[in-house]
């Protein structure tokens, strides 16, 4: 019997390789545009960046696959942030560039205030009636979400079910056949479809939705979002009680990972409109707290 599993070819990977040449050409053109816009002759850029004239010519014609260190030198010589150099594609609106500049000068405390002001000013209609629950596995999103939907008499939606339906396969199949980036795209499209389809709902999301800025921003913009928070030991105990033995394979390591994931995601979870600590009481107490958070 052959025990070697064939490694599925990810269509995305071969596309990426094909796209690489196109990207290098676009990058070269972009760098040339930026340089010319600055009125900077190539010889001056070569002198100021320490990258040879010949190499710069190759780069601008899309032939040179420049190292990240050299690209950084080029960026510094033009006084442009590296991320603005590598982002090729449609030109960013000048308002967005200026807004990013303005916001990047604000101290962190005022940044939160600025975001709230913007959200408040441009709040999407009906946001209060679209309730989204976020939090790590075992937080209680499904359990409390179903209770809340029944109480409010609105549909309960499990985003994972919507992703499965859209992809036409199970989530592990999406991951193993097409990778995490495909899962992220399905997640974002499913969320958009849910928002477009329903005016009112209680939505239970996947624990990692907060790690994808564009998707999390959509969630925060269109939904009243509540972070169901729990202690690492409760997360672990609840997941294990549901029959998932994987976290037990090396308990101390798994626990450390869980603590790290929770700490790493906490700043994003904290952007939710409200928080309910489900480790602070039993299920009924958490539900009462959740009701308070939607009718403050
Ligand atoms: N105070 C509490 N609040 C919420 N759930 C609690 C509480 N105490 C115990 N539980 C139990 O914890 C479990 C939470 O699991 P649930 O499947 O709802 O989490 P989840 O956030 O949907 O996880 P996943 O991301 O894996 O889908 C349930 O079995 C629930 O009964
Ligand atoms: O917390 C996580 O990292 C994840 C939780 C799941 O619900 C899915 O969102 C995904 O499998 C990853
Ligand atoms: Mg769940």
For 121, the domain range is: 111-294
Instruction: State pLDDT tens for residues 246-264.
Output: 655 567 788 888 999 999 9
pLDDT at 9: 53
Cβ distance 274 to 291 under 8 Å? no
Q: Whose Cα sits closest to atom 3 in ligand 2? A: 208
Residue nearest to atom 7 of ligand 2 (CA): 206
CATH of residue 153: 3.40.50.300
Prediction ipTM score:
0.93
Tell me, yes or no, whether 136 and 276 share the same domain.
yes
What is the C-alpha separation between 79 and 35, in angstroms, rounded? 11
Whether residue 115 is found in the same domain as residue 174: yes
Q: What is the CATH number of the domain that holds 59?
A: 1.10.260.40
Q: Are strands 224-229 and 201-204 parallel, antiparallel or unpaired?
A: unpaired
One domain, residues 209 and 68: no
What local confidence, expressed as pLDDT, does residue 243 receive? 84
Q: Are residues 79 and 185 in the same domain?
A: no
Most informative mutation of 135, 136, 138, 241 for ligand 1 (most atoms within 8 A of CB): 138
Same structural domain for residues 143 and 81? no
d(CA 85, CA 65): 14
Supply the pLDDT for residue 132: 98
What spacing in Å lies between the alpha carbon of 24 and ligand 1's midpoint?
Answer: 48
Is 142 labeled as ligand-binding? yes
Distance from C-alpha of 282 to C-alpha of 280, rounded to nearest angstrom: 7
Phi-psi region of 107 (alpha: psi -120 to 50; beta: other; left: phi over 0): beta
Same domain, 196 and 269: yes
- Is the pLDDT score of 295 beyond 90? no
Which atom of ligand 1 approaches the CA of 282 most closely? 1
64 and 180 share one domain: no
In terms of domains, do 134 and 239 share one? yes
Q: What is the mean pLDDT of the chain?
A: 90
What local confidence, expressed as pLDDT, does residue 10 receive? 59
Indicate whether 101 belongs to any domain: no
Task: Tell me what pLDDT residue 110 has.
Answer: 95
Report the 10 Å Cβ neighbour count for 296. 6
Do 219 and 173 lie in a common domain? yes
Query: Is 270 a domain residue?
Result: yes
Strand spans (E) along the chain: 130-134, 156-158, 201-204, 224-229, 274-277
**112-149 as b/e: b if 16+ CB within 10 A:** eeeeeeeeeeeeeeebebbbbbbbbbbbbbebbbebbb
Asked whether residue 254 falls in the same domain as residue 212, the answer is yes
Domain count, the chain: 2
State the pLDDT at residue 187: 97
Contact, 61 vs 67, CB < 8 A? no
For residues 244 and 177, membership in a common domain is answered with: yes
User: How many residues are listed for the chain in this entry?
Assistant: 296
Q: Are residues 221 and 82 in the same domain?
A: no
Considering only residues 89 and 231, tell me which one the structure prediction assigns the higher pLDDT. Answer: 231
Mutate to test the pocket of ligand 2, among 132, 133, 136, 137 (most ligand atoms within 8 A of CB): 137
Q: Could you tell me if the CB of 208 is within 6 A of ligand 2?
A: yes
């Amino acid at each position: 019997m052959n025990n070697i599993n064939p490694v599925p070819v990810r269509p995305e990977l071969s596309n990426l390789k094909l796209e690489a040449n196109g990207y290098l050409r676009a990058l070269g053109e972009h760098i040339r545009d930026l340089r010319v816009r600055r009125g900077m002759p190539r010889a001056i850029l070569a002198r100021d960046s320490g990258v040879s004239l010949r190499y710069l010519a190759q780069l601008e014609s899309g032939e040179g696959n420049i190292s990240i260190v050299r690209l950084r030198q080029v960026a510094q010589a033009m006084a442009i942030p590296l991320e603005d150099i590598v982002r090729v594609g449609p030109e960013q609106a000048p308002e967005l560039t200026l807004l990013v500049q303005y916001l990047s000068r604000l101290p962190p405390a005022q940044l939160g205030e600025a975001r709230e002001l913007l959200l408040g000013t441009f709040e999407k209609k009906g946001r209060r009636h679209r309730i989204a629950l976020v939090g790590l596995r075992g937080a209680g999103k499904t359990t409390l979400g179903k209770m809340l939907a029944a109480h409010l008499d609105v549909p309960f939606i499990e985003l994972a079910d919507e992703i499965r339906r859209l992809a036409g396969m199970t989530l592990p199949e999406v991951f193993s056949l097409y990778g995490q980036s495909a899962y992220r795209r399905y997640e974002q499209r499913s969320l958009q479809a849910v928002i477009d389809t329903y005016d009112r709902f209680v939505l239970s999301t996947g624990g990692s939705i907060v790690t994808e800025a564009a998707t999390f921003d959509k969630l925060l913009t269109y939904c009243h979002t509540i972070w169901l928070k729990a202690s690492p030991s409760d997360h672990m105990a609840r997941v294990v009680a549901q029959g998932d033995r994987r976290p037990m394979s090396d308990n101390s390591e798994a626990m450390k990972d869980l603590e790290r994931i929770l700490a790493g995601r906490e700043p994003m979870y904290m952007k939710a409109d409200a928080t309910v600590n489900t480790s602070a009481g039993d299920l009924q107490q958490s539900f009462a707290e959740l009701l308070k958070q939607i009718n403050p």
